[in-house]
């Protein structure tokens, strides 16, 4: 379908509907990367330059030929030890302590359908919609073999990359680096867009020029982290939302990772992505294999918006699984911001009744329902309901809440343990702690060793007894600290990287068991908000709590950055109380709803503390969300302003697939004037169609709205705008011209 092999040119070309990816079997079996971009035909071998380059060594089997050097070739998969001095995708330490590998092409073949990876998430597809190219590379000395796997989604314009590294020697080897993606671009000047942040301010975009230094981002925290997201973009120097080349790389992995980009001495840009290599030291015994997590690649020649749409489609259709894939999520209210851990049955039932009367569909019982859990210093790991606190069994509580007409949800944090818990007292060796060293605490908790399957299964079995009793409709799975003191009591040789890799596999194993046992349950991922927001986690949890920061204005930037790689249906977003607990800022109630409506929508507040006006507003907000949901989460998402730079307004819109409807949302960032005379240029509309502002009756052609824009006053009903006011305009294709 999409793979062609030219026997004379020795090129392997992958075609999707609109893109082409090409590699070449070069001199002495080096596998070279020659092109990734807009669909075309031809042999791009001419991008490879040969010549005698000073201080760039030549392979031994080249004899007197000085024109070939791995140091300057655009390699398809780079390795340390073959004369390439650039950052390498693969580094192998031999039994004698030396590091050396020299990979050459051995063979390739095509398989129908998409490959899978044992224990790891990966993009899936029906056999007829995908195929797999497998390229085998072998070390000339015979220590390792490397399978490069390419999943080709022709109609979606996506190519996935994964690597399988096998020890084919008779002695133990140690992987010092094992990246999944190595991509050399021998042409073009590029910027790197990455998404940095911190707890309560995640995925802030930053655009850096890729020069001759090496730009490295990643996480050493045991999770994909608040600080850096495992999604990056290489963009042409003049690429913007609608113009220019760009390619994105999304790592389907939720553990420590790194991504590196840099231009070498002869201007080839190398992009690497894989698990964190620092202290990796992953041992491979004879015959054993390491499976590198998957990277999804997409290319657009028409700017960042189209690239975002490619990833939105991929994640929505071919990463997210289960019955909630294309279904509106329940409008929920979470107990945390309303009462923390200070609750009893009467308070919970009172909150449930008040929520039901407002039209809310589900009550989520957050932290504090189990063990001796009255603050965050005790009880984690003891997954038995506190029946004294709950006024009876958790099953009876869930039944009473359902009897009120609400669904029931529950919070868990299975990877963590307090030292003040029955679990820790019985099994102190289950926590990640280093013998003879006092452990680093965070939130006064330690981390359970999820690299050990028996611990994962024990925690799952304990939780399953609770879940079997109350059968929650929704589960919020949290993780509230980074990993440190990485030492496994049963590992013997302590390879930090191997333990962290197996820890992530343990998290996936836990989630696999959850989805298998409770297939109808909606699971929301969480790690102090957005600390584990990645495509790998979305394989198991169709939504992720976007951030613990629920301030509607900060959320505009967080959701703006998130939109580059992740579809709005995955953004856990709620209306919270003011002044906001993170920022102290007060934002109008309607603005909080407009911002949250861009995501999954729900509430984090105490209904008993609402004003009469706010209580009257909630049913209207919920009705609007339900009405707009097909548009919001099945339409095309467009960024209309750069939230990081525009000081006057933040604006975005969604357009239905047939372009017959669009919803424009605007938040005023400035104050003191009406903004009359200002316009919000729309995007994605049919230029020849006539659109009507459903509220005002104003009519505009698609060209008018995209070239000039929507008059911003109509977004706010032509009223005097205060700072942080928000408005929405529903545009509908008019029946006549």
pLDDT value at 737 more than 50: no
DSSP letter at 47 equals: G
Query: Cβ(153)–Cβ(291) under 8 Å?
Result: no
Rounded CA separation 516/147 (Å) = 30
| DSSP-assigned states of every residue in 520-552 | T-EEEE-BTTBTT-SHHHHTT-SEEE--S---H
> Which two structure tokens, joined as six digits, stand for 247?
């390619």
pLDDT the model gives residue 673: 55
User: Please, which residues have CB within 8 angstroms of residue 60's CB and are 6 or more apart in sequence?
Assistant: none
Rg of the Cα atoms in the chain: 27
Task: State the pLDDT confidence band at 236, using cuts at 50, 70 and 90.
Answer: very high
**Residue-averaged pLDDT of the chain:** 96
- Tell me the domain boundaries of the chain: 3-318, 332-545, 649-733
Rounded CA separation 93/374 (Å) = 50
Angle 241-242-244 from CA coordinates, rounded to 5°: 95
Rounded CA separation 55/575 (Å) = 60
Name which CATH class applies to 3-318: mainly beta
- The tens digit of pLDDT for each residue in 266-325 reads 999 999 999 999 999 999 999 999 999 999 999 999 999 999 999 999 999 999 999 999
Better pLDDT: 514 or 718:
514
| Torsion sign (Cα): 348, 352, 358, 359 | positive
214 catalytic residue (yes or no): no
- The tens digit of pLDDT for each residue in 141-173 reads 989 999 999 999 999 999 999 999 999 999 999
pLDDT the model gives residue 678: 81
Same fold across 3-318 and 332-545:
no
Task: State the pLDDT confidence band at 676, using cuts at 50, 70 and 90.
Answer: low
Phi and psi at residue 203, in whole multiples of 5°? Answer: 55, 50
Return the closest-CA partner of residue 476 out of 346, 330, 633: 330
> Which two structure tokens, joined as six digits, stand for 681?
């240029």
Return the closest-CA partner of residue 497 out of 176, 238, 49, 219: 176
Q: Are strands 571-572 and 90-93 parallel, antiparallel or unpaired?
A: unpaired
Rounded CA separation 259/184 (Å) = 14
> Which two structure tokens, joined as six digits, stand for 210?
């890729």
pLDDT the model gives residue 672: 53
| DSSP-assigned states of every residue in 240-305 | -SSSB-EEEEEE---S-EEEEEEE-TTS-EEEEEEE--TT--EEE-TT-EEEEEEEEEEEESB-HH
Mean pLDDT of 716-728: 82
CA distances from 696 to 210, 699, 717 (A): 47, 9, 8
Mean pLDDT of 662-675: 81
CATH architecture group of domain 649-733: Sandwich (2.60)
606 catalytic residue (yes or no): no
> Which two structure tokens, joined as six digits, stand for 87?
């950052």
pLDDT the model gives residue 61: 92
User: Please, which residues have CB within 8 angstroms of residue 293's CB and are 6 or more apart in sequence?
Assistant: 117, 120, 121, 162, 180, 251, 252, 253, 274, 275, 536
Task: State the pLDDT confidence band at 608, using cuts at 50, 70 and 90.
Answer: very high
Burial of 142 (0-12, 13-18, 19+ CB in 10 A): exposed
> Which two structure tokens, joined as six digits, stand for 503?
């820890």
- The tens digit of pLDDT for each residue in 589-598 reads 999 999 999 9
- The tens digit of pLDDT for each residue in 530-582 reads 999 999 999 999 999 999 999 999 999 999 999 999 999 999 999 999 999 99
Catalytic residue among 184, 534, 551, 554: 534
pLDDT the model gives residue 721: 75
> pTM for the full model?
0.97
Catalytic residue among 469, 614, 617, 686: 614
CATH number of 332-545: 3.20.20.70
């Amino acid at each position: 379908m999409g793979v062609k092999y030219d026997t004379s040119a020795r090129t392997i070309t992958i075609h999707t509907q609109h893109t082409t990816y090409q590699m070449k079997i070069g001199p002495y079996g080096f596998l070279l990367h020659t092109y990734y971009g807009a669909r075309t035909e031809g042999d791009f071998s001419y991008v490879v330059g040969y010549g005698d380059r000073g201080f760039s060594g030549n392979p031994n089997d080249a004899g007197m030929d000085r024109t070939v050097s791995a140091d300057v070739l655009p390699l398809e998969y780079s390795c340390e030890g073959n004369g390439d001095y650039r950052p390498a995708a693969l580094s192998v330490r031999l039994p004698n302590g030396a590091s050396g590998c020299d990979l050459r092409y051995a063979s390739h073949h095509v398989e129908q359908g998409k490959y899978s990876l044992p224990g790891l998430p990966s993009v899936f597809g029906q056999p007829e919609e995908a195929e797999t190219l497998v390229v085998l590379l072998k070390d000339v000395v015979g220590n390792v073999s490397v399978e490069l796997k390419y999943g080709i989604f022709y109609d979606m314009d996506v190519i996935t990359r994964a690597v399988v590294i096998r020890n084919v020697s008779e002695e133990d080897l140690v992987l010092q680096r094992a990246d999944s993606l190595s991509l050399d671009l021998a042409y073009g000047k590029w910027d790197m867009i990455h998404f940095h942040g911190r707890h309560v301010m995640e995925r802030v975009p930053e655009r850096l020029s890729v020069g001759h230094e090496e730009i490295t981002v990643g996480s050493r925290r045991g999770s994909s982290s608040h600080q850096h997201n495992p999604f990056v973009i290489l963009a042409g120097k003049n690429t913007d939302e609608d113009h220019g080349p760009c390619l994105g790389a999304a790592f389907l992995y939720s553990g420590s990772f790194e991504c590196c980009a840099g231009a070498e001495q002869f201007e080839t840009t190398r992009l690497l992505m894989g698990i964190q290599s620092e202290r990796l030291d992953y041992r491979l015994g004879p015959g054993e294999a390491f499976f590198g997590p998957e990277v999804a690649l997409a290319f657009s020649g028409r700017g960042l918006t189209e690239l975002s749409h490619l990833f939105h489609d991929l994640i929505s259709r071919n990463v997210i699984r289960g019955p909630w894939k294309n279904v509106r999520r329940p409008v929920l209210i979470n107990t945390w911001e309303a009462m923390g851990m200070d609750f009893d049955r009467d308070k919970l039932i009172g909150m449930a009744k008040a929520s039901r009367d407002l039209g809310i569909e589900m009550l989520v019982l957050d932290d504090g329902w189990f063990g001796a859990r009255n603050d965050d210093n005790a009880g984690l790991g003891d997954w038995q309901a506190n029946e004294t606190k709950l006024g009876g069994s958790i099953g009876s509580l869930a039944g009473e809440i359902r009897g009120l007409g609400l669904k029931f949800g529950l919070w868990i944090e299975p990877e963590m343990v307090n030292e003040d818990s029955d679990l820790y007292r019985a099994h102190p060796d289950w926590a990640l702690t280093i013998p003879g060293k006092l452990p680093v605490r965070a939130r006064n908790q330690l981390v359970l060793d999820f690299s050990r399957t028996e611990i994962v299964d024990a925690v799952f079995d304990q939780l399953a007894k609770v879940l079997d009793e109350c059968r929650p409709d929704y589960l919020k799975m949290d993780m509230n600290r980074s990993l440190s003191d990485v030492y496994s009591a049963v590992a013997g040789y302590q390879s930090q990287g191997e333990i962290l890799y197996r820890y992530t596999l343990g998290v996936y194993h836990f989630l696999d068991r959850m989805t298998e046992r409770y297939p109808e349950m909606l699971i929301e991922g969480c790690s102090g908000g957005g600390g584990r927001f990645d495509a790998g986690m979305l394989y198991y949890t169709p939504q992720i709590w976007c951030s613990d920061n629920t301030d509607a204005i900060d959320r505009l930037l967080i959701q703006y950055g998130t939109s580059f790689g992740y579809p709005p249906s995955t953004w856990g977003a709620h209306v919270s109380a003011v002044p906001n607990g993170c920022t102290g800022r007060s934002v109008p109630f309607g603005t909080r709803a407009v911002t949250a409506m861009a995501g999954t929508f729900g509430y984090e507040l105490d209904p008993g503390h609402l004003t009469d006006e706010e209580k009257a507003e909630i049913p209207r907000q919920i009705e609007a969300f339900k009405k707009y949901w097909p548009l919001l989460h099945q339409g095309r998402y467009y960024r209309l302003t750069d939230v990081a730079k525009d000081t006057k307004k933040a604006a975005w819109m969604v357009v239905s697939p047939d372009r017959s409807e669009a919803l424009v949302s605007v938040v005023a960032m400035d104050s003191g004037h009406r903004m009359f005379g200002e316009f919000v240029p729309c995007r994605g509309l049919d230029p020849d169609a006539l659109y009507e502002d459903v509220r005002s009756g104003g009519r505009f052609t698609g060209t008018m709205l995209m070239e000039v824009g929507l008059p911003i006053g109509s977004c706010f009903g032509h009223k005097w705008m205060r700072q942080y006011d928000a408005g929405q305009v529903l545009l509908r294709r008019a029946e006549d011209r």
